[in-house]
Amino acid sequence: MNILLIGSGGREHAMAMKMAESTLCDRLYCSPGNPGTDECAENVPLDLGDMEALGRFLEENAIDLIVSGPEQPLVDGLHDRLLESGALDGRCFFGPEQAGAQLEGSKDFAKEFMVRNQIPTAAYRSFHATEKQQAKEYLQEVAPPFVLKADGLAAGKGVIITETIEEAEQALDELMGGALGDAGKTVVIEAFLKGREFSVFVMTNGEDAVWLPAAKDYKRIGEGDVGPNTGGMGSISPVPFLDETLRSKVDERIVQRTLKGLKKENLPFLGFLFFGLIEVEGEPFVIEYNVRLGDPETQSILPRTEGDLLAAMWDLAHGNAPSALGEKEEHSASVILASKGYPGSYTKGEPISLNGLGSHIRVIHAGTAHDGSGRLVTSGGRVLAVNALGGRLSDCLENVYAAIGKIEFDGMQYRRDIGSGL
Ligand code: AMP
Ligand code: GLY
């Protein structure tokens, strides 16, 4: 099988590593990729806006499977455009069409979908910028903390949680005033849920769902979960509090009802579905849907996934009973090494030294590049993820932090408390 994987982050490097292990994998291309994917795949610079060139690439390289790591191409309708241009021509695109991608691309759509399909989520109301006065009146009726969400994709900046009504009104003014462009023209105001967050992943064709290992990510920049939100500073898998009872509730009330809803509403969906969940006194609620895998959850879950990921994807794509994927008993932890200044503006171009790491450590590239003289340097906010497996969570954390001690770049920052607070 020849595969084109789209993306350039840590998630894509982790996906490329897993796909390259499969006996089904002949040639694996990553676009644009990064220095990490370059080691297990062939990086190719493709313009996703140029259907003709993309179609030619698929044809000339006999691509069988196209997978999008990030959500943006899916929300922008890449799958639909390839279909319309005829470039898919029997190839399989693993990732939903634009209609299904709305589960992530529009918070308002996702909330309405959940209500229509009796999927547990926080109570809410949505307001368009033309209804700002009604939105402010609604804020008077609900109790703090106030949760405001920009409807559209906002690169992790779209959720604002405030304690005072003045801050909530200010956030509303900013969002509706265009601070996040069109993404904030509609705002969802929802009830605050207090509980434990976790991430569940399935692969589905809208009919069958194959569970991947679940994970927990650490979103804030600071230890003890303080400071601004980031793309994610670390992750662990499995989730210690996701026991059989909670898992069955998630499967019945959330995963199965989502599949049923997709079918009922004629939304074809072949791809990964990522449920951002919160457990409140034993009951699971959906915080958000994503139509892709998580970053940095993928870096922890794929090393724990037993079985052939590509075979399961292929089976799902062809409507066959999907090959089940197992979960290794071992624990997995990933810690992100970030650039100085992240999640604000950050430095770039710092040389990275990665010497003396054992083979039990996986270094997953996210924001790295080669400079003019071929040295590995930093090029993004989140630079690397360091992952290890271990019999106990404490074992893998010990290995990860020992390895981090051997990695250097100027301004490197990371959380020392990944795996705690459970
Ligand atoms: P999201 O971008 O939807 O994942 O939201 C970002 C973060 O905001 C989540 O990971 C939660 O920590 C928090 N959050 C979102 N919605 C709620 C809610 N209704 N109650 C409490 N926390 C929330
Ligand atoms: N780690 C959260 C996400 O990928 O959205």
Give residue-wise pLDDT tens across range 210-252. 999 999 999 999 999 999 889 899 999 999 999 999 999 999 9
pLDDT at 167 over 80: yes
pTM: 0.96
The CATH class given to the 2-95 domain equals alpha beta
For residue range 379-399, list pLDDT tens digits in order: 999 999 999 999 999 999 999
Q: What is the 295 CA–ligand 2 centroid distance (Å)?
A: 5
Topology adopted by domain 123-190: Dna Ligase; domain 1 (3.30.1490)
Please tell me if the CB atom of residue 232 comes closer than 6 angstroms to any atom of ligand 2. Answer: yes
Q: State pLDDT tens for residues 259-301.
A: 999 999 999 999 999 999 999 999 999 999 999 999 999 999 9
Ligand having the closest approach to the CA of 158: 1
Centre of ligand 1 from the C-alpha of residue 230, in Å: 13
Q: Ligand 1, from 287, 290, 291, 297: best to mutate by most atoms within 8 Å of Cβ?
A: 287
Query: Around Cβ 422, how many Cβ atoms within 10 Å?
Result: 11
Q: What is the dihedral of CA 214, 39, 318, 309, to 10 degrees?
A: -30
| Burial classification of residue 14, based on how many CB atoms lie within 10 Å of its CB (0-12 exposed, 13-18 middle, 19 or more buried) | buried
Q: Supply the residue whose CA is at minimum distance from atom 5 of ligand 1.
A: 159
- Give me ligand 2 centre to Cα 416, in Å: 20
280 alpha carbon to ligand 2 midpoint, in Å? 20
| Predicted confidence (pLDDT) at residue 116 exceeds the cutoff of 80 | yes
Distances (CA, A) of 189 to 31, 151, 156, 204, 229: 37, 10, 17, 30, 19
Q: Work out the percent of the chain whose per-residue pLDDT is above 70.
A: 100
Q: Which CATH superfamily is domain 196-327 in?
A: ATP-grasp fold, B domain (3.30.470.20)
Ligand 1 within 6 A of 219 CB? yes
Question: Is residue 156 pLDDT above 90, yes or no?
Answer: no
Per-residue pLDDT tens over the stretch 44-69: 999 999 999 999 999 999 999 999 99
Q: Residue 321: pLDDT band by 50, 70, 90 thresholds?
A: confident
14 CA to centre of ligand 1 in angstroms: 25
The answer, yes or no, to whether any atom of ligand 1 lies below 6 A from the CB of 287, is yes
Mutate which of 295, 300, 418 for ligand 2 pocket (most atoms within 8 A of beta carbon): 295
Which of these, 215, 214, 418, 239, lies nearest to 336 by C-alpha position?
418
Look at the domain 331-408 and name its fold: Glycinamide Ribonucleotide Synthetase; Chain A, domain 4 (3.90.600)
| Domain residue ranges of the chain, discontinuous segments joined by + | 2-95, 123-190, 196-327, 331-408
Over residues 331-342, the mean pLDDT reads 97
- Whether the per-residue pLDDT at 129 is higher than 90: the answer is no
